[in-house]
């Protein structure tokens, strides 16, 4: 018996002109012990399809299907009481952002207890013992101590494991995992994938929703590729990822950054010519590295919080130089000191000791007042542009405010804003729009436009593409490469995605516990890592069939 059997599923939502359909007649079947993946970009219909399997399509949603059978039962006319009965007991749901999904006011123990009370008769010590066993099963260390902690006290990987423990508390036959590894470090990502493999080996079926094709390649038996609410291609994972037939699938595969894609553009047209291969790429514009001009010099950088026995050093003796036109990647797990190093380089925080020199100016020695005169020299591209924008500002004002640091005002300011909009390939119709009305890709382009408007010598990009779909990520990485070649800007790229760094960087610095454990040319470090930690990072990278290691 199939666990899930759906034919001609259609999902719509109320709109001003009537019902707006977002899923258009898809078929889905999941067998016991099988991993089926739904892949595609944001808006393709992946998540809303998955939510229809647990009756969580949303208020006002119209869900129709010729047949919708779950565990052999007709679910087309299920009421809320019936959906509640299968949630947790038959279907476990793992969401992407564990920090948002877990109740911040409940301890981990209370969260697990709440999930189990609805599904078992266990109470008291027996309930606590089973909570400990659930955390142990998902690889959470010191489970007894974790039960007393709150979500914010756990790392991203531990929170995600707790969410999985909650999802499997009722021993469900089907687990739905919606982007369970997005934005996680490669080593933590590999731990979550191994955990999901173990659930498969135990007989669970899995519906995996992801835009990360390398993750899908490691876990899924079958793949359905969705675009605009329809399935455009499906088949065995190996067939779809090595012999794609649809142009959209080819575009998604071509957008995956790796060692193979170095020096070439990741984005290809929506409708590529007949016969195009996945790796038929156009070259990026040549970029010149000027090793006679050091744009950023970090010397003996150290940052310690607190004092005495509670002192915690998060950056410890970091040294590197970055040349004009060069891209230097910084990689490492969460807590390795990557972002703190970037913030120290920009003097957003003051170092405990050490020196930061930006384009010949001793930034670490300047007061905040003195720094204001030099801020145009170095600019930041933040991971989440929406939170870095003033929501009251229009796009024109967001970009224009960065020009204040270099004294560009009046008509010259308006002209520069429009010139930069052209450079980041945004239409001028966005000038009067506010950040929340833009797509994720548009917001990231605005963030880049704001950063390059003063024509800085140094750009610091902290996880600039980690939250983007693979094709939007490809467009942003291509854009950064083009702008860097055009302006000769030095780029400090911080990322947990080693594929992105291997594609974009000239050199790489590997950080662990606040220290640099290895550095060098990016090919040399990733192809023949010397340090055990670097080898562990490289070995954890999910790979597409037929592509290089990273």
Q: Please, what is the end-to-end C-alpha distance for the chain in angstroms? A: 39
Q: Is residue 65 part of a domain?
A: no
What Cα–Cα distance (Å) separates residue 211 from each residue in 123, 224, 303, 390, 408?
Answer: 40, 11, 36, 29, 41
Q: Is residue 52 part of a domain?
A: no
- All residues at 6 or more sequence positions from 319 whose CB lies less than 8 Å from its CB, including other chains: 298, 299, 300, 301, 516
User: In terms of residue numbers, what domain contains 314?
Assistant: 292-539
Give yes or no: residues 309 and 451 share one domain: yes
Q: What per-residue confidence (pLDDT) applies to 118?
A: 75
- Averaged pLDDT, 396-401: 94
Q: What per-residue confidence (pLDDT) applies to 543?
A: 84
Buried b (16+ CB within 10 A) or exposed e, 269-306: eeeeeeebebeebeebeebeeeeeebbbbbeebbbeee
CA distance 525 to 547: 18
Helix axis angle, 247-254 to 470-487, nearest 10°: 50
- Averaged pLDDT, 438-447: 88
pLDDT at 276 over 80: no
Q: Which two tokens stand for residue 363?
A: 């930034």
Q: Is residue 253 part of a domain?
A: no
439 DSSP assignment: -
Residue 519, SS3 per DSSP: strand
Residue 516, SS3 per DSSP: strand
* 331-369 pLDDT, tens digit each: 998 889 999 999 999 999 999 999 999 999 999 999 999
Give yes or no: residues 160 and 301 share one domain: no
CA distance 134 to 113: 11
What Cα–Cα distance (Å) separates residue 117 from each residue in 108, 132, 496?
Answer: 14, 15, 38
Q: Is residue 15 part of a domain?
A: no
**Pairing mode, strands 4-15 and 62-64:** antiparallel
* 282-329 pLDDT, tens digit each: 899 999 999 999 999 999 999 999 988 889 999 999 999 999 999 999
> Percent of the chain having pLDDT more than 90?
65
CA distance 446 to 450: 6
- Averaged pLDDT, 449-454: 94
What Cα–Cα distance (Å) separates residue 441 from each residue in 179, 251, 471?
Answer: 18, 17, 10
Which residues pair with residue 28 across a beta bridge? Answer: 6
Which of the pair, 51 or 279, is modelled with greater confidence? 51
Q: Is residue 317 part of a domain?
A: yes
Q: Is residue 476 part of a domain?
A: yes
Q: Is residue 307 part of a domain?
A: yes
Total of domains in the chain = 2
Which residues pair with residue 92 across a beta bridge? Answer: 175
User: Can you spell out the DSSP letters for 62-109?
Assistant: EEE-SEEEETTEE-TT--HHHHHHHBTTTEEEE-S-HHHHS-TTS-HH
What are phi and psi for residue 203, nearest 5 degrees? 105, 0
CA distance 545 to 238: 7
Cβ 140 vs Cβ 146: under 8 Å: yes
Angle at 202 between CA 174 and CA 87, to 5 degrees: 25
What is the sign, positive or negative, of the torsion defined by CA atoms of 404, 406, 408, 414? Answer: negative
Of the residues 113, 141, 171, the one at which a domain ends:
171
Give yes or no: residues 156 and 297 share one domain: no
Q: What per-residue confidence (pLDDT) applies to 282?
A: 85
Which of the pair, 138 or 532, is modelled with greater confidence? 532
Of the residues 114, 137, 171, the one at which a domain ends:
171
Of the residues 120, 145, 171, the one at which a domain ends:
171
264 DSSP assignment: B
User: Can you spell out the DSSP letters for 337-370?
Assistant: SHHHHHHHHTTSS--SEEEEEETTEEGGGS-HHH
Within a 13 Å sphere around the CA of 175, how many CA atoms are in the beta-carbon half?
A: 30
* 26-63 pLDDT, tens digit each: 999 999 999 999 999 888 999 999 999 999 988 889 99
Q: Is residue 198 part of a domain?
A: no
Give yes or no: residues 166 and 297 share one domain: no
pLDDT at 69 over 50: yes
């Amino acid at each position: 018996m199939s666990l899930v059997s759906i034919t001609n599923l259609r999902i719509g939502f109320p709109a001003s002109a009537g019902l707006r359909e977002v899923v258009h007649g898809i078929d889905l079947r999941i067998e016991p012990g099988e991993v089926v993946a739904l892949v595609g970009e944001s808006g393709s219909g992946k998540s809303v399809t998955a939510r229809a399997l647990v009756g969580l399509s949303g208020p006002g949603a119209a869900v129709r299907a010729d047949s919708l059978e779950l565990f052999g039962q007709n679910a087309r006319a299920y009421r809320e009481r019936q959906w509640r009965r299968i949630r947790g007991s038959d279907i476990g749901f793992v969401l992407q952002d564990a920090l948002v999904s877990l109740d911040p006011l409940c301890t981990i123990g209370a969260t697990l207890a709440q999930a189990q009370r609805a599904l078992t008769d266990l109470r008291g010590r027996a309930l606590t013992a089973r909570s400990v066993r659930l955390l142990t099963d998902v690889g959470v260390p010191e489970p007894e101590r974790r039960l007393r902690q709150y979500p914010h006290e756990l790392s991203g990987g531990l929170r995600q494991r707790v969410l999985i423990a909650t999802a499997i508390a009722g021993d469900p036959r089907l687990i739905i995992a919606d982007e369970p590894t997005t934005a996680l470090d490669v080593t933590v990502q590999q731990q979550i994938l191994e955990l999901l493999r173990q659930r498969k080996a135990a007989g669970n079926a899995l519906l995996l929703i992801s835009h990360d094709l390398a993750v899908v390649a490691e876990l899924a038996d079958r793949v359905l590729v969705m675009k605009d609410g329809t399935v455009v291609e499906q088949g065995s994972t190996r067939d779809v990822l090595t012999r794609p037939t649809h142009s959209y699938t080819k575009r998604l595969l071509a957008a995956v950054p790796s060692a193979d894609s170095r020096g070439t553009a990741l984005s290809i047209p929506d409708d590529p010519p007949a016969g195009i291969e996945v790796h038929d790429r156009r070259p990026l514009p040549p970029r010149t590295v000027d090793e006679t001009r050091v744009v950023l010099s970090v010397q003996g950088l150290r940052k310690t919080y607190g004092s005495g026995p509670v002192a915690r050093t998060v950056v410890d003796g970091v040294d590197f130089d970055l040349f004009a036109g060069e891209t230097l990647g910084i990689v490492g797990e969460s807590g390795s000191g990557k972002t703190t190093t970037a913030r120290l380089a920009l003097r957003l925080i003051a170092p405990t000791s050490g020196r930061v020199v930006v384009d010949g100016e001793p930034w670490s020695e300047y007061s905040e007042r003195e720094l204001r005169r030099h801020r145009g020299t170095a600019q930041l591209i933040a991971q989440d542009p929406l939170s870095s924008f003033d929501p009251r500002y229009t796009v024109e004002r967001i970009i224009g405010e960065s020009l204040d640091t270099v004294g560009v005002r009046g008509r010259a300011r308006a002209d520069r804003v429009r010139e930069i909009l052209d450079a980041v390939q945004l239409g001028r119709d966005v000038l009067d729009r506010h950040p929340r009305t833009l797509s994720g890709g548009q917001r990231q382009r605005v963030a880049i436009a704001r950063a390059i408007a003063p024509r800085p010598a140094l750009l610091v990009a902290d996880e600039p593409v980690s939250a983007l779909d693979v094709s939007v990520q490809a467009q942003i990485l291509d854009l950064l490469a083009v702008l860097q070649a055009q302006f000769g800007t030095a780029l400090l790229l911080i990322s947990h995605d080693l594929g992105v760094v291997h594609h974009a960087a000239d050199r790489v610095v590997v950080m662990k516990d606040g220290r640099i454990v290895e550095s060098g040319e990016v090919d040399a470090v990733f192809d023949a890592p010397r340090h055990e930690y670097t080898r562990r990072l490289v070995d954890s990278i999910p790979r597409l069939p037929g592509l290089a290691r990273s």
